């Protein structure tokens, strides 16, 4: 492994750690929102859930995909 490859691997693992931190934060936000929504009225809960929880789930899915790509690149 030459210096360029080693530097690239270090950079990818730094990006992976950043992504893991982001993912953990987003998962915590999602859990808090789901908890809060359980206390709302049924009609309001459905409306809010459709909007805010979906946004968070989509963001998490994008982060998971990005993490998977970085992990696949590290394996190569």
Domains in the chain: how many in total?
A: 1
51 vs 57: CA distance, rounded Å: 10
- At 16-65, the pLDDT tens digits run 888 888 889 888 988 888 787 777 666 776 777 778 888 888 889 898 99
pTM of the model as a whole: 0.49
Residue 66 belongs to domain spanning: 3-75
Query: Which whole-number Å values give the CA distances from 28 to 11, 44, 67, in the listed order?
Result: 26, 22, 18
Q: Residue 27's CB: how many other CB atoms inside 10 A?
A: 13
Token couple for 63: 């982060």
């Amino acid at each position: 492994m030459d210096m360029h490859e080693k530097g690239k691997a270090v950079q990818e693992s730094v990006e992976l750690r950043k992504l893991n931190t982001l993912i953990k934060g987003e998962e915590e936000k999602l859990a808090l929102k789901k908890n809060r929504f359980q206390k709302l009225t049924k009609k309001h809960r459905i409306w809010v859930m459709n909007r805010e929880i979906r946004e968070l789930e989509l963001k998490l899915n994008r982060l998971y995909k990005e993490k998977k790509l970085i992990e696949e690149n590290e394996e190569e």
